[in-house]
Amino acid sequence: MNPRNPITLLVLAALTGCAAAGGAGSPGAAVPPAARSSPLGSPFADHPAGIGTPLILDRTDLRIGTTVSFSRMPSEGEMHDLQQVPALQHVVLALPAWPSEYAPLEVLNRLPEEADAIIVLRGYPPTRASAEAWNYVRTRLRIVLLVPGPPPNVGVIVDLNAMRGLERVIAEMDEPSRAGFERLQRPLSFLKVMD
């Protein structure tokens, strides 16, 4: 089983205030043959993007709505097609890497007005420009950041605090500690993956 998929579910459950259950096996474990032959497939199958397509659970939202997930940035045509999705609520993007500039994010401004974009990113922004690029997106953003531990320096925390859409940071650590996160102005959660 791939531990990143249960991590994504846990991240999104924490984002919406729900409890999620799931296990994580060893990273090299194969998907059982029965799961591969299942008509529905396996929810723990490996995904090429590394994060998979997260499921959003929000117990406070009683609307009947649709969530569309992408493991990459959608194209202009796909954004146009979202206009035809009935009761569109959320567009979830589990991106494999931080965009280095605003240009690839500009397509998000074409998101239908009634929907929001939930972005799941791994790691810290590689540059200040990567973090600032999200501030130019005019649609409603909810960004969840999965990080491997404390930030490399205080400048990264300053960049994160300046991100308008950053909703939560989840640090994957064996021993939860706020060391390095003292100046973070967003909710901080901790995740321990058991192998």
- pLDDT-based confidence at residue 194 (cuts at 50, 70, 90): confident
pLDDT tens, 120-166?
A: 999 999 999 999 999 999 999 999 999 999 999 999 999 999 999 99
Q: What is the pTM of this model?
A: 0.72
Tens digits of per-residue pLDDT, 76-97? 999 999 999 999 999 999 998 9
Nearest-angstrom CA–CA distance, 165 and 154: 20
Domain 52-191: which topology? Rossmann fold (3.40.50)
Tokens in use for 14?
């924490």
% of residues, the chain, pLDDT over 90: 62
DSSP state of 152: S
Q: State the burial class of residue 2 (Cβ atoms within 10 Å of its Cβ: 0-12, 13-18, 19+).
A: buried
CB 35 within 8 A of CB 41: yes
**For residue 119, is pLDDT > 80?**
yes
DSSP category for residue 83: G
* Rounded Cα distance, 8 and 69, in Å: 13
